[in-house]
Structure 1
């Protein structure tokens, strides 16, 4: 295996060295691609120091040297990758020694286009643990049991709670399948949840297989300045950010002719539910009444689905 590990770097001077070292521990890692996204801290200088130490590390910036967000930054990494396989790693996270154990066996089968595993949690400081342990605990982010590849997309769309989740940090993909078969890239329009939207589309187009699900193969680093941590802990209203996510998914589904109509309808109802959740209180009942008349199940999905009902009122 020749794996390209893509690490977007933004405001991560304290963490990126650990992320890089965790990737370099594997002989299968052909290259570690750092894409520096105009960090306000000293991350660029740290990256420059890293590339001097190991010729497997490569450093790039956007052509205009600007800040473009995680999605376009990962896209640039995909364009620069030369390995046969692509893995992603956030700059404040890190791989564990078993990261590619399952992948080395599963990818011997040419029909396997991607493999996913379980993500653990690491608290960088006691303050971060005190703030966020009630949110994350020590639980794994994982798909709860092994499913066939055709079940992954509907499982994420319909059964998110019971199906489980996998993280971008635990995903490995055949590069030719990603680039040639579907040419899928991250959406530049999303500053948050761009990885979730990417994984939805990826699981629809590619055959993704479960790797190690019962123990972590990578660790999510939790600290006070992590934006997605603030979303998950409700410091930023999750309904506000997820309405944008489901709007993108809804737009994609409407334009993808091969998606069955019942799945398109379900996605649209998910989007509507989050729109209701983010409607200001004075207008909320009007929006609910409108949808009640036009599509009662969309209201029911919003009120009774555990993912949304706590956000409605």
Structure 2
């Protein structure tokens, strides 16, 4: 198994060497692709040093040598990758020993599997970063992980509807390169949540399975310049309307299977309703909220008429579930 590790680099001169060397230490890594994204510090110089020092390190920049963000950098990395498996690593994070041992076994064993996701731990750079992490309500999270075993056929729906099952991080994912033929590339219009959107696309059209969910395979570094700690409010905004709008439009254009598209439609309608009502959404009676959402859905159906077929499938599916539950109750 040969893996291309893609590392977008922006203002990470202090950390990128550790990231690269942690990847090179993995026997499965055939190349490390650095996409230097017009940093204002000395990141480019460090990347040049690494590329000169290690033959497996390939360094690229965007054609105009301007800053384009994580999505565009990952996309360029995917296009430059020479091997069949893709893994990601943020420039301020690092892999742990035997990062790909379990994932490679699972992928080699079953050709139908598109990727493996595993747990990622947290490394605090200093006390200040740990305090900021606690301030935004994340101090209880020791791992970024999905905390239950989910069959790949149910991963999309579970991630969509059950926040308590957790999530996976880019550092803990390895996929076959061919999955991007179905998902497309990372959305370059999203400033935040572009990774979550991609993972949901992968879960919708591919088969992702769990690897190590309780022992981390990589560490995400928390420091004062992290996006999560610096732009927490912005991150919360992008986790709502922009995320669901992007996913629904992608699913609609790509004719995602009806039940999955209907679920995205419901999430999209919810996000529009919540934004319209702003802080009042949680204070309204349930029936009144449903009325607002119904109006939103009608407006969207007019704009996206093909969604009616998907909604019919979802209503039919729910009817079958209801009937099965009723029959089980009668039998008991």
The structure whose Rg is larger is 2
Q: Deviations over 1:259-291 (max 9, x none)?
A: 224x434323323433444458699899x9696
* Structure-2 residue corresponding to 1:148: 151
Q: Secondary structure at the match of 1:97?
A: coil
Distance 1:270 1:219 in 2: 31
Distance 2:128 2:80 in 1: 37
* Structure-2 residue corresponding to 1:133: 134
TM norm structure 1 = 0.85
1:11 aligns with 2:8: no
Evaluate the alpha carbon distance shift between residue 297 and residue 46 of structure 1 in structure 2; reply closer, same or farther with a 3 A threshold.
same
TM norm structure 2 = 0.80
1:167 aligns with 2:166: no
Q: How far off its partner does 1:296 sit?
A: 8.0
Distance 1:117 1:282 in 2: 36
* Structure-2 residue corresponding to 1:301: none
Structure with higher helix content: 2
Confirm or deny: 8 A CA contact 2:26 2:98 kept in the other structure: no
* Structure-2 residue corresponding to 1:270: 267
Distance 2:292 2:71 in 1: 38
Q: How far off its partner does 1:164 sit?
A: 1.9
Confirm or deny: 8 A CA contact 2:183 2:198 kept in the other structure: no
Between 1:185-194 and 1:105-114, the stretch displaced more is 105-114
Q: How far off its partner does 1:258 sit?
A: 3.5
Q: CA RMSD in A?
A: 2.6
* Structure-2 residue corresponding to 1:112: 113
Confirm or deny: 8 A CA contact 2:183 2:205 kept in the other structure: no
**Structure 2 unaligned residues grouped into runs of 5+:** 298-332
* Structure-2 residue corresponding to 1:123: 124
Of residues 226, 250, 253, the one that matches 1:252 is 250
Q: Deviations over 1:215-251 (max 9, x none)?
A: 11111111111113334xx444613553211110121
Q: Secondary structure at the match of 1:219?
A: strand
Evaluate the alpha carbon distance shift between residue 45 and residue 280 of structure 1 in structure 2; reply closer, same or farther with a 3 A threshold.
farther
Aligned length: 291
Q: How far off its partner does 1:160 sit?
A: 2.6
Q: How far off its partner does 1:133 sit?
A: 3.2
* Structure-2 residue corresponding to 1:304: none
Confirm or deny: 8 A CA contact 1:184 1:202 kept in the other structure: no
Evaluate the alpha carbon distance shift between residue 107 and residue 237 of structure 1 in structure 2; reply closer, same or farther with a 3 A threshold.
closer
Evaluate the alpha carbon distance shift between residue 237 and residue 228 of structure 1 in structure 2; reply closer, same or farther with a 3 A threshold.
closer
Q: How far off its partner does 1:44 sit?
A: 0.6
Q: Deviations over 1:141-162 (max 9, x none)?
A: 111122221111111112232x
* Structure-2 residue corresponding to 1:303: none
1:1-313 alignment to 2 at 5 Å?
Answer: 1-108=1-108, 109-134=110-135, 135-137=137-139, 138-161=141-164, 163-175=165-177, 177-179=178-180, 181-182=181-182, 184-231=184-231, 234-236=232-234, 238-240=236-238, 242-261=240-259, 263-279=260-276, 292-293=291-292, 295=294
Distance 2:242 2:86 in 1: 27
Distance 1:101 1:130 in 2: 34
Confirm or deny: 8 A CA contact 1:239 1:277 kept in the other structure: no
Q: How far off its partner does 1:107 sit?
A: 1.4
Q: Secondary structure at the match of 1:144?
A: coil
